[in-house]
Amino acid sequence: AQTVTQSQPEMSVQEAETVTLSCTYDTSESNYYLFWYKQPPSRQMILVIRQEAYKQQNATENRFSVNFQKAAKSFSLKISDSQLGDTAMYFCAFMRGSSGNTPLVFGKGTRLSVIA
């Protein structure tokens, strides 16, 4: 079974600063995908970024980027130029690769507060 660990229950950052959220996972799979989802107070789950395990290049989406260390099974999220709208719960998630769709396994989340 796969497990996802987010060791930082809460974090805060000043507006316009950079913050990094940590995530580690455990799996024996060789083919898998990693995700970061954002859950603002509205509770809507929103995809932030996606990484294929077979790609060495780190994924980026505008102000969001990841540091994917496959050997260390680490998948951290960096948010640059933090904005008040980034305040949310952030969930790291693992998806096993397959010929079809498979479920997400989530970490417990990190609550991020962006302070003006």
Size of the site for another protein (CB under 8 A): 27
CB of 60 to another protein, least distance (A): 16
State whether residue 83 is helix, strand or coil: coil
d(CA 99, CA 2): 18
Told to check if 103 binds another protein by CB under 8 A, we report yes
Q: What is the DSSP letter of 73?
A: T
Per-residue x/- marks for another protein, 56-95, CB under 8 A? -----------------------------------x---x
Told to check if 11 binds another protein by CB under 8 A, we report no
CB of 86 to another protein, least distance (A): 19
Q: Which of 20, 22, 24, 45 binds another protein (CB under 8 A)?
A: 45
Angle formed at CA 12 by CA 6 and CA 15, multiple of 5 degrees: 130
Going by C-alpha positions, the residue among 72, 73, 104 that lies closest to residue 91 is: 104
Contact present, 106 and 23 (Cβ < 8 Å) = no
C-beta closer to another protein: residue 82 or 107: 107
